[in-house]
């Protein structure tokens, strides 16, 4: 076979989704075709330190990788370096990288920051670029784009942390506009961190303060009594939508515990929906992907109202969970693309994008 592609997998990171990223990355590394790829693994600690890790992949998922004596290694923004600078005992060595897969979820990874570094470094990478990544991460901005292209969504209002000094006014406004229950979210976050459902005035006040701990921008949303339907999108300029999946959360809503701490939330693939509804959701998923200027992959999440059957977009995740039981790869498997072939396709799309943009 021709020369192998040197692929750098980035995992961990400074976000509240650090642990999830480690599990996703371990799955990715296990399933990559070793005949095709030379894999270089870089772990980023919760404090934001970068190390090259060469040990067993199981220690990535468990977090034990940090206990090994790993050399420091950073991605250089210098466009001529084209890779990783490894620092061992004060000596630096360069390693050229053909393509990077940032398996990072949430802030400082999925939000355009790492993508910006990779642009400067002139290295192709899997997934969306700077603009799409930050737009999708910031729920308040993504909503403006969805509204502009006519994708239905829950009604919302944005508040800033400093407005909470006049708490009574904010709460009065929300009560008049949305009533209860309503959802309160930090604009930039993920994995349901900082999100609450308020059933009364006290919970609304508490929820606003909780969200304000995570972001200075807070969204309050009308409650949608909906089924949770997800669609995987894959491609660059001609993205394709997968079959749909449904999540049945084990708790009142799909909060952090329902996502990661108990395994009784159910994934149903394919979701049982009328054909027109499913087609419409796939159409909206591609429309949202294009509207945010995504590339490579994204998981687009929807609600389907339990009584009216109406469709609402909820959010776009530009680096969706990628463990082998995650919705994103499962939906492609159900659409006929195996996990390993999906990885090949993502890397191909990253290399194509670099050539064609």
Ligand X SMILES: Nc1ncnc2c1ncn2[C@@H]1O[C@H](COP(=O)(O)OP(=O)(O)O)[C@@H](O)[C@H]1O
Residues in touch with ligand X (CB under 6 A): 154, 183, 185, 189-192, 195, 221, 223-224, 228, 249, 253-254, 301, 314-315
Residue sitting closest to ligand X (CB): 254
For ligand X, the closer of residues 43 and 190 by Cβ is 190
For ligand X, the closer of residues 183 and 332 by Cβ is 183
Residue 104 and residue 15 in contact, taking contact as beta carbons nearer than 8 Å: yes
Nearest distance in Å: CB 13, ligand X:
16
Residue 112 and residue 130 in contact, taking contact as beta carbons nearer than 8 Å: yes
Calpha distance 273→278 (Å, rounded): 6
Nearest distance in Å: CB 107, ligand X:
11
Nearest distance in Å: CB 1, ligand X:
40
Q: Counting Cβ atoms within 10 Å, is residue 166 exposed (0-12), middle (13-18) or buried (19+)? A: exposed
Nearest distance in Å: CB 102, ligand X:
18
For ligand X, the closer of residues 9 and 285 by Cβ is 285
- For strands 50-53 and 37-44, give the pairing: antiparallel
Element (H, E) at 289: helix 275-291
Calpha distance 59→311 (Å, rounded): 41
Nearest distance in Å: CB 183, ligand X:
4
Cα R_g (the chain), whole angstroms: 21
Calpha distance 317→119 (Å, rounded): 20
Nearest distance in Å: CB 222, ligand X:
6
Q: Is 28 left (phi over 0), alpha (psi -120 to 50) or beta?
A: alpha
For ligand X, the closer of residues 246 and 301 by Cβ is 301
Please, which residues have CB within 8 angstroms of residue 148's CB and are 6 or more apart in sequence? 291
For ligand X, the closer of residues 51 and 183 by Cβ is 183
Nearest distance in Å: CB 147, ligand X:
15
**Angle at which helices 18-31 and 339-356 pack, to 10 degrees?**
100
For ligand X, the closer of residues 121 and 311 by Cβ is 311
3-state SS of 188-224 is ECCCCCCCEEECCHHHHHHHHHHHHHHCCEEEEEECC
Nearest distance in Å: CB 154, ligand X:
4
For ligand X, the closer of residues 111 and 301 by Cβ is 301
For ligand X, the closer of residues 98 and 111 by Cβ is 111
Calpha distance 303→249 (Å, rounded): 13
């Amino acid at each position: 076979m021709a020369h192998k592609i040197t692929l750098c997998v980035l995992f961990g990171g400074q976000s509240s989704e650090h642990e999830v990223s480690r599990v996703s990355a371990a799955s990715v590394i296990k399933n990559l075709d070793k005949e095709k790829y030379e894999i270089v693994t870089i772990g980023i600690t919760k404090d934001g330190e970068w190390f090259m890790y060469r040990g067993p992949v199981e220690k990535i998922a468990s977090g034990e990788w940090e206990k090994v004596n790993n050399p420091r290694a950073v991605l250089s923004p210098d466009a001529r370096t084209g890779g990783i600078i490894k620092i061992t005992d004060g000596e630096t060595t360069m390693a050229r990288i053909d393509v990077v897969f940032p398996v990072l979820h949430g802030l400082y990874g999925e939000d355009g920051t790492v993508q910006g570094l990779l642009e400067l470094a002139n290295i192709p990478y899997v997934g969306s670029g700077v603009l799409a990544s930050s737009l999708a991460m910031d729920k308040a901005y993504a909503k403006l784009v969805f509204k502009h292209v006519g994708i239905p969504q829950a009604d919302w209002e944005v508040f800033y942390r400093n407005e909470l000094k006049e708490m009574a006014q904010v709460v009065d406004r929300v009560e008049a506009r949305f009533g209860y229950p309503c959802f309160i979210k930090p604009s930039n976050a993920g994995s349901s961190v900082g999100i609450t459902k308020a059933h009364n005035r006290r919970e609304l006040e508490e929820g606003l303060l909780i969200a304000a701990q995570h972001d200075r921008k807070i969204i309050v949303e009308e409650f949608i009594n909906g089924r949770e339907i997800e669609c995987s999108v894959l491609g660059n300029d001609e993205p394709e939508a997968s079959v749909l999946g449904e999540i049945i959360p084990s708790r009142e809503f799909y909060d952090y515990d329902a996502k990661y701490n108990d395994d009784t939330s159910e994934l149903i693939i394919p979701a049982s929906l009328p054909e027109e509804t499913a087609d419409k959701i796939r159409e909206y998923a591609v429309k949202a992907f294009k509207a945010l200027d995504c590339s490579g992959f994204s998981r687009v999440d929807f609600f389907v109202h339990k009584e009216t059957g109406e469709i609402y977009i909820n959010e776009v995740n530009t680096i969706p969970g990628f463990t082998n039981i995650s919705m994103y790869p499962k939906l492609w498997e159900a659409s006929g693309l195996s996990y390993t072939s999906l990885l090949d396709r993502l890397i191909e799309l990253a290399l194509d994008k670099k050539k064609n943009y």
